[in-house]
Structure 1
Amino acid sequence: MSQTKGTKDPNDVVELLRQQHVRIRALFEEVTATKGEERKASFHELVRLLAVHETAEEEVVHPFARKNIDGGEQVVKDRVAEEEKAKEVLAQLDDMDPESPEFLDRFAALREDVLAHADAEERHEFAYFRQAADKSKLENLGRAVKAAEALAPTRPHPGTDTAPKNIAVGPVAAVVDRTRDAVRKVMGGG
């Protein structure tokens, strides 16, 4: 089935990542608007989505941007710095009580930073992908992102900000994270 101009192709890497940004924004709203177990569950879903999303960007999107968009190296360097800051805060928040005032203050700051980061990605990185690649390449990148996400850790791991680092640490971290997720689910912790 061919895509006509103006339709959204869910296999296109730009559309896939933008839709994930929409879900990330919604999860930030859910965490802010809820309390108790519902807040905890929404927060854990947000952590998981951010972790797999950023891993896939580090493994697929950033290497493509470095090579194929003007000023790509600097654009990626700026995005990676933002991602590392967010990973550090997420790791701290993951160990905190989501009902505590300290959590809510740090979460509000994280929200602002992550949403600014998503906007910067869309403006400085994704906006140029359609100029640098044809539909087929964008779909191949989308499939690569989905594959990377399927194997990605589900928790933030500061310091794993490049494809080689993710490949070296990612599989072990993913197994540990997914085991921790399963235990958390069985124990009723979201």
Structure 2
Amino acid sequence: MSIDQTLGQTNAEPEVIAVLLGQHTRVKHLFAQVNSATGEAKQSLFDDLRELLAAHETGEEVVLRPVSQQAAGEGVAEAHNAEEKEANKVLAELERLDVNSGDFDARFAEFEKAVLAHAEHEENEEFPAVRARCSEEELQQMGKRLLKAEKSAPTHPHPSAAGSPTGQRVAGPFAAMVDRVRDAL
């Protein structure tokens, strides 16, 4: 599956919340697929999930969070950034484990619960506030910026930059370049 398909790009004028909701659906689907797969298929599906989550969280932190900070409040934005920073740490730990091990399965189950709870918090707290604050045109502009940010986002977790829009803007492009070379090798 191409990164554009995975990231939810479906039309010429993406609306940021619709794109993010589509990605949340894709994340849930990938969790289910990883849980039911074995061997190389499980590794491949986990790699797809890892890449989607890394890009998705980067896009949210760079494009959505500055707006949600104003729309939903600084506390909501900071809480979501903190959850994403923790998720990046766990994702990096999972990446080092054998996907066919019991350790991976146990840690992955905890990670799934945390990620799905995080997505639910965004959908209930953050997304409605951003929609209420922004015009349709602003939401579409944010959607375009989100997809652009995700295309140049890292494909692996980078906990040192996670949870910080500034950290993502500064370290993200370099980390993405390193990740793409790493993926090619």
Aligned residues: 174
Shift of 1:159: 2.5
Shift of 1:81: 1.2
Q: 2 CA distance for matches of 1:76 and 1:129?
A: 11
Shift of 1:128: 1.6
1:1-190 aligned at under 5 Å gives the runs 11-67=14-70, 69-70=71-72, 72-160=73-161, 161-183=163-185
How big is each residue's C-alpha offset from its partner over 1:127-154, in whole Å with a ceiling of 9 and x where there is no partner? 1222101110000000010010011111
RMSD: 1.3
How big is each residue's C-alpha offset from its partner over 1:79-125, in whole Å with a ceiling of 9 and x where there is no partner? 11111111001001101100000000000000000000000001010
Secondary structure (helix, strand or coil) at the match of 1:125 reads helix
Q: Where in structure 1 are there 5+ consecutive unaligned residues?
A: 1-7, 184-190
- Which one has a bigger Cα radius of gyration? 1
**TM-score relative to the length of structure 2:** 0.91
State the partner residue of 1:3: none
Shift of 1:163: 2.2
Moved over 4 A (4+): none
Secondary structure (helix, strand or coil) at the match of 1:94 reads helix
Secondary structure (helix, strand or coil) at the match of 1:77 reads helix
Q: 1 CA distance for matches of 2:35 and 2:89?
A: 20
Aligned residue type for 2:149? A
Q: Alignment identity in percent? A: 40
